[in-house]
Amino acid sequence: MPLQVIGAGLGRTGTQSLGVALELLGYRTHRMVNVLTDPTQDPGVWLRAKENPSTHKDEWESVYGNYDAAISWPTVTFYKELMDKYPDAKVILTLRDANEWFDLMLNTIFTQVNFQLPINSPHHLNHAVEMLKTVILDGQAPNPFDAEADRAKFIKMYNDHIEEVKKHVPAERMLIMNLNEGWDRLCTFLNKPVPDTPYPALNYADDFGTKFYSLLEQLNDNLKKLDQHP
């Protein structure tokens, strides 16, 4: 199925809530968690696209073929190419205060990509994390203990990304969505009825250690299913 929605907002701009919202609207939505927990997702697809942007083989259907929406990393790094691949897809740019974004990145993504995986972690998880280190913020995600000194640098990267998206995406194809904006403009943009439920509000402060072991359990379960169905 072709992608109908492409997220151009960086992670930690409300993308987790948007992902749940899109699911409630009927979209099968690709997120970072899918790459981490689904052993049929080849992290090499994004690595090859990052390392050889103009010459890599078109492999997008192998990772997005079962989805009709894709948001956050690794997707956002390739939003331009995916727009060309899926010319009818609409683009959603999620925004939040730049300093709030940096603080959330410091406590989540920067920690995650620098997390020392257990030595017996599945190969797929190691490969996925290495890919994310490469594609998130052009491979510049810092060690969280040193990141505060570079706050201004990363806030500039955040603001530059927003301006780049605004310049690249035609206005009629894009929704710029602020954090906590709710259903109305999103549903109008996607031509969907407003659900009879509050717009999702996910907690970014979940303990990463707990979350990691939940992801690891999901991945191991999926690996077992693959072994049972060769």
Question: Rounded to the nearest 5 degrees, what angle is found at the Cα of 193, between the Cα atoms of 97 and 76?
Answer: 40
Q: What is the pLDDT of residue 134?
A: 93
Q: Could you tell me the residue ranges of all domains in the chain?
A: 5-214
Query: Candidates 3.40.50.300, 3.40.30.10, 3.40.225.10, 3.30.70.260; correct CATH number of 5-214?
Result: 3.40.50.300
Average pLDDT, the chain: 89
Share of the chain above pLDDT 70, in %: 89
What are the pLDDT digits (tens) for 127-161?
Answer: 988 998 999 999 988 777 777 888 999 999 999 99
Exposure class string for 74-98: b at 16+ Cβ within 10 A, else e: bbbbbbbebbebbeebbbbbbbbeb
Whether the pTM exceeds 0.85: the reply is yes
What are the pLDDT digits (tens) for 53-84?
Answer: 888 889 999 999 999 999 999 999 999 999 99
Q: What is the pLDDT of residue 173?
A: 98
* Range from 15-19, 49-53, 108-112, 170-174 carrying the lowest mean pLDDT: 108-112
